[in-house]
Amino acid sequence: MPVPEIKVLDKGFVRLIDHMGSDLSVVNAARVSFGKRKTAFEDGDAKLLAYLAEHEHTSPFRHTALTLHVKAPIFVFRQWMKHRIASEFNEISGRYVEFPEDEFFVPEVFRRQAKVNKQGSEGAIDEQDHARALATYLKSCRGAVAHYKELLSLGVCREQARCVLPLALYSEVYWTVSLQAVAHFIRLRSDNHAQWEIQQYAAAVRSLVEPLYPVGLKTLLADR
């Protein structure tokens, strides 16, 4: 059976590796307080999940888990790994493996610095500057990778040689996370203030998670 996967950016992806529980699992985690357990999810249970989320009784949502395999640029993971609560990350190690030649992110559009939001961007740079920006970007990334390969050829260890690699380099992680934590990630990283590239990953994560916990995720993401 194929692993559910969504392609992201030019070389990235998000794959669903495994998951535990369902919306019913959240219901039963809540109802155990009354010594009760259900075998089927019913309409009234959706109201219970909405009540739990609205009043921040969120521990039942943590009786779920899913594992995703993610390939993304390092600068995306810099932001992603701020989501540490109820999350576990294991990342490919440059101490063990040699990175390939062209595994770095190349944007289709170069954006301008936002005038109001100091950390954000807006619109595209002038069209006449795009080719020069792309050439500069590629020269920098390819040069860094070439220097990395040269250091390895000189006998420098992988753990030191990797220090010259760019933030655009793709990395891979396994991410295991609860439903509550993944909803928090989606809410923050889907916001239009988040960097565009991580917004694409948040959309991919949501597409994989929604079929597993349709009511629970919708409830956690609802505006209050």
Q: Which two tokens stand for residue 104?
A: 């770095």
Nearest to 70 by CA among 120, 3, 121: 3
Helices 179-189, 214-221: crossing angle, 10 deg rounding: 50
Residue 1 has pLDDT above 80, yes or no: no
Amino acid of residue 19: H
To the question of domain 5-94+172-221 being in CATH 3.40.1350.10, the answer is: no
Q: Residue 224 has what pLDDT? A: 61
The residue annotated as part of the active site, out of 15, 162, 189, 206, is: 189
Amino acid of residue 80: W
Least confident of 68-77, 109-118, 155-164: 109-118
- Average confidence (pLDDT) over 180-186: 97
Residue 223 has pLDDT above 90, yes or no: no
Residue 106 has pLDDT above 80, yes or no: yes
Residue 101 has pLDDT above 90, yes or no: no
At residue 68's C-alpha, the angle toward residues 173 and 21, to 5°, is 145
Amino acid of residue 75: F
CA distance 224 to 211: 23
189 is catalytic: yes
Q: Residue 185 has what pLDDT? A: 97
Q: Residue 116 has what pLDDT? A: 83
Instruction: Provide CB contacts within 8 A for 3, sequence distance 6+.
Output: 15, 16, 17, 69
CA 67 to each of CA 16, 56, 59: distance values in angstroms, whole numbers, following the listed order? 6, 24, 19
At residue 82's C-alpha, the angle toward residues 187 and 85, to 5°, is 80
Contact in structure between 180 and 21 (CB atoms under 8 Å) = no
